Amino acid sequence: MDLAVRYQAKIMHFSSSVVYGPRPDGQKKTKENEIGQVDFLSPRSSYDEGKRFAETVVENYRQVHGLDSRVIRLFRVYGPRMKLNEGNLIPDFINSALENSSLVIPGDKYFSSSLCYVSDCVDACLKLMESSVIGPVNIGSDVDMNLTKICEMIIKILDSKSKISYIDSHLFISELCLPDITRAREELGWLPIVTLENGLKKTIDDLRASKGLKTVV
């Protein structure tokens, strides 16, 4: 932030949906003006509160120094070039399906999440930087997707012999709130356009290649 002030640079801060805290009952979509609630003594509080504090820093620099800053709040984003075996849902599911091993969901059969393909996210970033909108702006899919259905889709695309299993919920993989993307739609002219099936196919193709298993046609 000090460097941005020194060189009067335009800056974007990549924040996260974790600033809102756990998904509220009723699965309502969350607007940018909602304060959210985070347990600041939980085992993962340093990450969640860190994201909240970072937004505070950016906003204070904007107010005090007149910095040309933007804050974008990303909901679950996926796509090519994600690393395997790092505990991320989609690459872990794809890796397991490639190996015909169980796709393990950290929760029950009702676990759901929204997923936004990376090119849609990049498009939103460019639109936000080119606009006069300061933010924060929610960027993500507002469609709730059942993880079991997503796993079934991955297994089908790969014609895998994998099964689906469930384990206890993971501390850092939890159901997140759904974004209200009205502001992005009305002020940036942005909507996610890549379908889940197409996004998964592109991601699968890339991750298969990274494992050295891509078939040359």
- The residue from 7, 20, 47, 61 that is catalytic is 47
Amino acid identity for residue 115 in this structure: L
47 is catalytic: yes
Measuring CA to CA, how many Å separate 194 from each of 15, 31, 139?
22, 22, 14
Per the DSSP assignment, residues forming a β-bridge with 104 are 165
- Nearest-10 Cα torsion for 100, 105, 106, 107: -150
Buried b (16+ CB within 10 A) or exposed e, 129-153: eeeebebbbbbbbbeeeebbebbeb
Q: Is the backbone peptide bond immediately before 136 cis, with ω within 30 degrees of 0?
A: yes
Q: How far is CA 204 from the centre of its chain?
A: 17
Measuring CA to CA, how many Å separate 175 from each of 4, 14, 81, 82, 169?
35, 20, 23, 20, 9
- Rg (C-alpha) for the chain, rounded Å, is 19
Active site residues: 47
